[in-house]
Amino acid sequence: MIHVMGAGAYGTALAVSLAQNGPVTLWLRDKVQAKEIQETRENRKRLPGVRLPDNLTVTSAMPAPKDGELTLLAVPTQKLRGFLESHVAQLGRGPLIACCKGMELGTGLSPTKVISALRPQGISAILTGPSFAADVARGLPTALTFACADAESGTGIQAQLTTPNIRVYRTTDVIGAEFGGALKNVMAIGCGAVIGAGLGESARSALMTRGFAEIVRVATTHGAQRDTLSGLSGFGDLVLTCTSEQSRNYMYGQSIGRGDVFDETVTVEGAATARAMTQLAQDQGLDLPVTTAVCGLVQGKLKVRDAMDMLLSRPLKEE
C-alpha cells in the first residue's frame, strides 16, 4: 500500500500511476470533495478527464501507514510544515517522500529538511524531476529522480515508485535534487516574463543558460554534486519548466511580462522560493543576480525591462 497526501493535480496523477502497481490511498482534507471524487472516480477540480483506477481509494480520513509503507507528501512546500505539525504522529515510521519543490519562506529549508525537523527519526526523501500532472496521469512516458541519502533504502523505494510509465532514477544527492527542483521554478518565472514582455526567444535562452549556471553555483556551494544538476532534477526540469505553457511558474511569469492579473488560487512555488533564496543569498553573501531579479519582479519592485537592463549591465566576465 502507498499513501499519497494531497489531491492536487500532481498528487492525483501520481496516485493514478502508482495504482498500476497495487492499492493506493489518496488523502485530502475536504470531506465533501473526497466523497465526490471517490464516488465519481474523477478529480474534476484538479485533474478533469482522468478516471481513477478501482484500487485507488480517496478519503479524508488520515490513514495510518504500517511500517515500511510509503507516504508521499504532495502538498505545496509552503504548507508542508503546517501539514506535518498536524499529522506527523499519524504517519508512522515509514519513509516520508516529498513530492514538492521549493524552499520554505522564513527558514530557507528544503522539503526534506522540513520533514527531518518535524520527524528527526526515519527516512525523508524526495521525488522530483521534469513532469506534468496531465502527462503522468495519462500514462505518458516520464522520467523522475528519487533522492534518498540512505542508498540501501533508496534502492527498494525506487522499485516501488517505478511504474509502467514512470522510470525512476536514484541518487543519494538530496541537496542537488532539491536545489535543482526549487531554483528551476524561479528561472521559469523569469523566462515567462521575458516572453510575456516580448523580449524574444534569444533573451529566454540567455536567461535559461545563465540561470542554470546560477543554480549550479549556489547548489554546489551547499554541497550538491554537479552531475545531479546536469540530470533530470536540474537541467532536465529547467528545460521543461522554462519552455512549456503547462508550467504554472512559466505562465505566472508570462502574466508579469504582459502586466496581466494571475489567478491567486494557483500554486506558484517559484515566487516564494525566489524570496527565500534572495534572503539566503544576502545572509550568506552569495551572488544570485537572476534570482534577485525574479524576486524583484514577483514583489512588484521591478519591471521586466528594468530587470533585463540590470542583468545586461553587469560587469563583463568569462563564461
pLDDT in tens, 263-305: 989 999 999 999 999 999 999 999 999 999 999 999 999 999 8
- State the pLDDT at residue 312: 83
What confidence tens digit (pLDDT) does each residue in 140-166 have?
Answer: 999 999 999 999 999 999 999 999 999
Beta bridge partners of 57: 25
Listed residue (80, 116, 113, 109) closest to 5, CA to CA: 80
**Contact of 72 with 126, CB cutoff 8 Å:** no
Task: Decide the pairing of beta strands 96-98 and 24-27.
Answer: unpaired
Dihedral of CA 125/127/128/132: which sign? negative
Task: Decide the pairing of beta strands 142-147 and 124-128.
Answer: antiparallel
- State the pLDDT at residue 118: 97
In this predicted structure, the answer to whether residue 40 has a pLDDT above a threshold of 90 is yes
Q: Does domain 175-312 have CATH number 1.10.1040.10?
A: yes
**Contact of 72 with 127, CB cutoff 8 Å:** yes
Residues that are catalytic:
184
Q: State the pTM of this model.
A: 0.96
At 314, the pLDDT band (50, 70, 90 cuts) reads: confident
Listed residue (312, 100, 61, 58) closest to 210, CA to CA: 312
In this predicted structure, the answer to whether residue 316 has a pLDDT above a threshold of 90 is no
In this predicted structure, the answer to whether residue 318 has a pLDDT above a threshold of 80 is no
| C-alpha cell of residue 278 | 534572495
CB-based contacts of 163, cutoff 8 Å, min separation 6: 17, 18, 20, 21
- State the pLDDT at residue 66: 92
The identity of residue 261, as a single letter, is V
Listed residue (146, 150, 171, 166) closest to 228, CA to CA: 171
Domains 2-172 and 175-312 share a fold: no
Q: Does domain 2-172 have CATH number 3.60.130.10?
A: no
**Contact of 80 with 111, CB cutoff 8 Å:** yes
The identity of residue 235, as a single letter, is F
- The binding site for sn-glycerol 3-phosphate comprises 101, 129, 131, 184, 237, 247-249
What confidence tens digit (pLDDT) does each residue in 66-124 have?
Answer: 988 999 999 999 999 999 999 999 999 999 999 999 999 999 999 999 999 999 999 99
What confidence tens digit (pLDDT) does each residue in 193-212 have?
Answer: 999 999 999 999 999 999 99
- The binding site comprises 10, 29, 101, 129, 131, 133, 184, 237, 247-249, 266, 269
Domain coordinates of the chain in residue numbers? 2-172, 175-312
- State the pLDDT at residue 291: 97
